[in-house]
Chains A and B, each alone.
Chain A
Amino acid sequence: MAVEKRARRHTIAVLVDNEAGVLARVIGLFSGRGYNIESLTVAETDQKLNLSRITVVTSGTPMVIEQIKAQLERLVPVHKVRDLTIEGPHVERELALIKVSGTGEPRVESLRIADIFRARVVDSTNTSFVFELTGASEKLDAFIELMRPLGLVDVSRTGIVAISRGADAL
């Protein structure tokens, strides 16, 4: 049987019981079995049913990705595992908070670029801005690169959250 050997990036959504240690189980699985984590986000999504949603971006050959999904499904508190990358179109977004410090022309320039990128200023002092920017990860990367010569001092990113397009739920 011909097996594809090329590693590819996959975004996987995991619905879990929001209980103590569940994140440790997921992370331990990745480190213990030598899988990559490129990005990971987690938060409670349903208070009544006590569910959390984990979005994990990983990369591997199709065989490794299949293993990752099977291993995740095997964890007792895991409800659902969905590979958004192969299950059709989906939206991926990331949020970043970016702090730029400076005065004079660079400061004005940073504000101008922020406007182009539709970043919002969420904090401001005489010598600094904090921008809030959402979008695809590449867009965030580009913005951060542009801020670097203008006095970039701090970056905080959420990692990717993703959801499928269309009417169907996870």
Chain B
Amino acid sequence: MIIRALVDQGVEVVFGYPGGAVLPIYDAIFGQNNLRHILVRHEQGAVHAAEGYARSTGKVGVVLVTSGPGATNAVTGLTDALMDSIPIVCFTGQVATHLIGNDAFQEADTTGITRPCTKHNYLVKNPGDVARVVHEAFYVARSGRPGPVVIDMPKDVQLGKGRYVGPEKVVHRTYQPRVKGDAAAIERAVEMLASAKKPIFYTGGGIVNAGPGASQKLTEFAHMTGVPVTNTLMGLGAFPGSDPQFLGMLGMHGTYEANLAMYNCDLMVCLGARFDDRITGRLDAFSPKSKKIHVDVDPSSINKNVSVDLPIVGDVGAVLEDMIASWKRQKLDTDRQALKAWWKQIDEWRGQDCLHFDQGKEIIKPQYAIQRLYEMTKDRDAYITTEVGQHQMWAAQFYKFEAPNRWMTSGGLGTMGYGMPAAIGVQLAHPESLVVDIAGEASILMCIQELSTAVQYRLPIKIFILNNEYMGMVRQWQELLHGGRYSESYSAALPDFVKLAESFHAKGLRAAKPSELDGVIEEMLRTDGPVVADIVVDQAENCFPMIPSGAAHNEMILSIDKSNVVSDAGKALV
């Protein structure tokens, strides 16, 4: 019945790991051909793979794990999906209902543990509820602000018999998120935009979640109005990276022009982003001179960190559509004269060339490695995932995304180990495409076991490790904040990644000199199968520009020599 419900929901792939409490479901999987099961090596990998699958397709990712440790191992992935609003339905096995609460073998209070890290969860106690709960779970996972949903399924319920109901028969009683934005508010928003002198669109992952149509609408609206656009880490690809109106990413490691434009603007239109602390910097100095409009599908995101002048609750794609319609109907235009001056100012900031680096002959600069990867893959059908740390920020700065759903990264939770399993999920959804995991040598070891999964299913993912032998971002913070005392951030006893790849029956490559880099990338791209490319990069390189914690957008530092000391209050922030 579970399988039938999944098939009726259009599910094609399930990521999972079997165990005692889910054997009945695995038995049902064995006897059918509609669902493909991908056996991962660790439950965390299953959830990340489902996230990669979901984020690159817009569909719901499905996970199946056993009770107890299966469920607890999935918690990191579930939290990651919650923070980044990724739709996931995760089935967890549970001990039989009469054993619940008895500290039975592999029992855990899964609904209790996952309550704060899911959008919603269910413990199914009655076989008759199974089909309804599954359909409800899919509805909840994908509606409104998407998120993970757990269905905890005791073993006797899995074996029980109940009546099947189809998805069309299941309507949720309470959960009906608002899609259309308030018409009067939208009208006011476009009027504010028309009279603004220094407007900016600050756009986030909500645009990506609202579907490719929302990105098109954003691009159309930006071009109609001539307003500069900046994206959050999660929103990269929502607006074409090579568009002249794009200022690059904003926030802690965002570009100089994006952050200064945020600081100095007089109207901020926030579309599907949530004023995260990595974006705002010091709150009391965040964009002090601007009026703010915030469009979000989740009312709790509005006025959470920053109070806004005009909130609009609704799906950002639908709201953008209405904004464009209203703009056209009222025959509005932006103040072109003022906008010209605004762009002149922005171009001056751009002139700082904040992402500049000097590539010498001896050591590969990590930025250069990403730049080369971008140049050599930009004309291909490419998807990029990352782990977490310096390499992630460099990837965000130097890889330009032209379309949404091409960039998979752990933004909110910042989960090291996300990238490779996510790449597996992406590759399964797009078997013919190029999928690259841009990784660091520390992060990649956190879910390295999934290389085995990639090999088993012949998934030709490319793992591009920027190896600086340090947990680079930790080292950078220690350098800036803790007097260069590199406590435990050196990756001692690293494996030989080439041999490690070979031991997994994958291909291993290494580049240690700038002159070797292109050859290695070429060979990586040519190889039909999983590849680990170990790129030995400059150990001392830091990720700039940077807004130090506790600082404001206009206090960002561009390099270490100009850097000022971080305040004590700033040190307390992470």
Closest A residue to B299 by beta carbon equals A70
A63 touching B116 by the CB < 8 A rule? no
Q: Which residues of A contact B140 (CB under 8 A)?
A: 76
Subset of 29 A-B contacts with CB under 8 Å: A1-B308, A1-B309, A17-B173, A17-B174, A21-B121, A21-B123, A24-B112, A24-B115, A25-B115, A28-B115, A28-B116, A63-B307, A66-B303, A67-B300, A67-B304, A70-B298, A70-B300, A70-B302, A71-B300, A73-B300, A74-B298, A74-B299, A74-B300, A75-B120, A76-B120, A76-B140, A76-B172, A77-B174, A79-B173
Closest A residue to B112 by beta carbon equals A24
Q: Which residues of B contact A67 (CB under 8 A)?
A: 300, 303-304
Q: Which residues of A contact B326 (CB under 8 A)?
A: none
A63 touching B303 by the CB < 8 A rule? yes
Give the interface size class of chain B. 20 to 34
Complex CA gap A70/B298 in Å reads: 8
Is residue B119 within 8 Å, beta carbon to beta carbon, of the partner chain? yes
Instruction: Please pick, from B116, B299, B303, B307, the residue contacting A32 in the complex, using a CB distance under 8 A.
Output: B116
The number of chain A residues with a CB under 8 A from chain B is 21
Is residue A169 within 8 Å, beta carbon to beta carbon, of the partner chain? no
Instruction: Please pick, from B175, B308, B309, the residue contacting A76 in the complex, using a CB distance under 8 A.
Output: B175
How close is A82's CB to chain B, nearest CB, in angstroms?
A: 15
Q: Which residues of A contact B172 (CB under 8 A)?
A: 76
Is residue B111 within 8 Å, beta carbon to beta carbon, of the partner chain? yes
Which residues of B (97-121) have their CB < 8 Å from a CB of A?
A: 111-112, 115-116, 119-121
Q: Which residues of A contact B119 (CB under 8 A)?
A: 76
How close is B293's CB to chain A, nearest CB, in angstroms?
A: 12
Complex CA gap A1/B290 in Å reads: 10
How close is A15's CB to chain B, nearest CB, in angstroms?
A: 9
Is residue A20 within 8 Å, beta carbon to beta carbon, of the partner chain? yes
Q: Which residues of A contact B298 (CB under 8 A)?
A: 70, 74
Residues of A within 8 A of B (CB): 1, 3, 17, 20-21, 24-25, 28, 32, 63, 66-67, 70-71, 73-79
Q: DSSP majority for the B interface?
A: loop
B174 touching A76 by the CB < 8 A rule? yes
Closest B residue to A1 by beta carbon equals B307
Instruction: Please pick, from B173, B299, B309, the residue contacting A73 in the complex, using a CB distance under 8 A.
Output: B299
Q: Which residues of A contact B121 (CB under 8 A)?
A: 21
Known: A28-B115, A28-B116. A79 touches B303 (CB 8 A): no
How close is A114's CB to chain B, nearest CB, in angstroms?
A: 43
Complex CA gap A3/B309 in Å reads: 11
How close is A159's CB to chain B, nearest CB, in angstroms?
A: 23
